[in-house]
Amino acid sequence: MIQKPRPNRPRRQLLAVPAVLVLALAAACSNSSGKSTADATPTTTLSGDCAKYQPYAGHSGTKVTMYASILSPESDSLEKSWSEFSSCTGIKISYEGSNDFESQLQVRVTGGNAPDFAIIPQPGLLAQMVKTGKVVKPPAATVANEDKWNPVWKGYGSVNGTFYAAPMSANMKSLVWYSPKYFKQAGYQVPTTWADLMTLSDRIAKAGGGSKPWCGGIGSGTATGWPATDWLEEAVLGTYGGDVYDQWVSHQVKFSDPKIISAMQTVAGWMQNPAWVNGGIGDVKSIATTTFQDAGAPILTNKCWMLQQASFYQAQWAKGTKIGPDGDIFAFHLPAVNPAIPNPVEGGGEFLAAFSDRPEVQAVQNYLSSADWASSRVKVSTGWVSANQAVDKSLYTDPIDKLSADALTDPTATFRFDASDMMPAAIGAGQEWKSLTAWFAEGQAIPKVAADIDAAWPQ
């Protein structure tokens, strides 16, 4: 890969009220108490199964707050991943997830009510937070973990060359979810080229039977529109490759450039084709009012056949759904629009930024940047891949996680980070969401969509 609830990204999971993790302290794990700075030798001694958390000891009875866009059910495994750490060290981690994270984080930070931590899925949003002067640089022990990340990932967590936020998760965006069971029954083969994918889509549409080839949803609270940015990014990267993609991210190539207009036309022919979408849900406009969480459900009832969504979408499938090559649901790599582009892979990620340098905050920050925590998260999660290269790949037992990890680390891939996450937050987490939503909801013309986004670009 070198993870965009996004939202990425954000943009995550089923709507839920904020959850608070309150863990019982395990007295058996320590025999004394005391305070220390995170990078100093703690005065508390941990024993037994808790001994491995000795570097983070000395802060029993403290609490840190964490804010993110990750909602249940994904947030359940997130909280489980640090539960032992919390009970052993006595540091309670109070977690809150919100579908309004992107807009509310700015409000909280500028209003003097910043959380101790924010899990930020957009480098553009990280840069915006750094401009407030409230983001605290990581402690030395966090920085020392940099050798566990690909240098490009440290770059995504940096602003103007200064490192602020350690990478956490990585997700594979370039996936198409489908049902192997229904494909087999219909005699369909997984397409390996864009031409084959379009031919299959047309074949499904003409077969009738009350189902359509594609379903989709871009609803996500105040982040509504972000899945459409992924569709456009896939078209840009898969048509023109990494150089044009990079120039687009920096606005050297504008949205009104013929290349980006052409990519938007590709998306329109694919995800705005009334004969192809929105199977089991409604017409093209229904994509704007369908939450991304609900978008794939018709695949399980054979009302639609495919959904383009990231690896983290795995958490949305109904309990008991068999996921695998011979299961109810699986995924394949979205082919390049232009066969001359070698193996395009779009990825997203999340980064841990701190707004406090209290010792207990730094202890948590150090732990969450470690390979030990990343391995713990992999063990309790599906649909989650770590940005930490020190994680043993054998820990990925889930077939989607394996598929994603392989694609994200493929040295032959044309890999790029989610473009809207790299753009200024006013665009990538603002005007682009708004304009692409209008494109689907109102049928706004492509030149108007492009012009509105270009006009909003910060000067």
pLDDT confidence tier of residue 270, bands split at 50, 70 and 90 = very high
Do residues 280 and 211 touch, judged by C-beta distance below 8 A?
yes
pLDDT confidence tier of residue 288, bands split at 50, 70 and 90 = very high
Query: What whole-number distance in Å separates Cα of residue 445 and Cα of residue 420?
Result: 20
Q: For strand 175-178 and strand 304-308, is the pairing parallel, antiparallel, or unpaired?
A: antiparallel
pLDDT digit string, tens, across residues 168-181: 988 899 999 999 99
Please compute the mean of the pLDDT values over residues 389-405 and round it to a whole number. Answer: 88
Domains located in the chain, CATH noted:
27-171+347-417 (3.40.190.10), 175-346+418-456 (3.40.190.10)
pLDDT digit string, tens, across residues 324-368: 999 999 999 999 999 999 999 999 889 999 999 999 999 999 999
pLDDT digit string, tens, across residues 110-152: 999 999 999 998 888 999 999 999 999 999 999 999 888 877 7
According to the model, what pLDDT value does residue 42 have?
A: 55
**Across 14-28, 176-190, 368-382, least confident range:** 14-28
According to the model, what pLDDT value does residue 321 have?
A: 95
Query: What does the angle CA 97 – CA 350 – CA 418 come to, to the nearest 5 degrees?
Result: 120
pLDDT confidence tier of residue 13, bands split at 50, 70 and 90 = very low
Residue 261 has pLDDT above 50, yes or no: yes
According to the model, what pLDDT value does residue 204 have?
A: 97
According to the model, what pLDDT value does residue 178 have?
A: 98
According to the model, what pLDDT value does residue 37 have?
A: 54
Of 447, 8, 47, the C-alpha closest to 254 is 447
According to the model, what pLDDT value does residue 19 have?
A: 34
Rg (CA), the chain: 22
Query: What whole-number distance in Å separates Cα of residue 232 and Cα of residue 248?
Result: 12
Do residues 181 and 328 touch, judged by C-beta distance below 8 A?
yes
Query: What whole-number distance in Å separates Cα of residue 102 and Cα of residue 92?
Result: 24
- Separate counts of helices (H) and strands (E) for the chain: 18, 13
- Give the per-residue SS3 of 256-291: CCHHHHHHHHHHHHHHCCCCCCCCCCCCCCHHHHCE
Residue 459 has pLDDT above 50, yes or no: yes
Query: What whole-number distance in Å separates Cα of residue 26 and Cα of residue 348?
Result: 36
DSSP 176-238: EEE-HHHHHHHT-----SHHHHHHHHHHHHHH-TT-EEE----BBTBTTTHHHHHHHHHHHHH
pLDDT digit string, tens, across residues 40-89: 555 679 999 999 999 999 999 999 999 999 988 889 999 999 999 999 99
Query: What whole-number distance in Å separates Cα of residue 136 and Cα of residue 82?
Result: 22
pLDDT digit string, tens, across residues 202-253: 999 999 888 999 999 999 998 999 999 999 999 999 999 999 999 999 999 9
Residue position matching structure tokens 């108007």: 448
Query: What whole-number distance in Å separates Cα of residue 319 and Cα of residue 286?
Result: 25
DSSP 4-23: ---------SS---------
According to the model, what pLDDT value does residue 8 have?
A: 41
Which position has the higher pLDDT, 25 or 76?
Answer: 76
| 131 CB-near residues (< 8 Å, 6+ apart) | none
According to the model, what pLDDT value does residue 22 have?
A: 33
According to the model, what pLDDT value does residue 14 have?
A: 31
- Strand blocks (E) in 111-172: 117-120, 158-159, 162-163, 166-172
Between the alpha carbon of residue 43 and those of residues 10, 37, 52, 433, the distances in Å are: 39, 10, 15, 49
According to the model, what pLDDT value does residue 169 have?
A: 86
Mean pLDDT score of the chain, rounded to an integer? 89
Residue 99 has pLDDT above 70, yes or no: yes
Q: What's the token pair of residue 243?
A: 């150089």
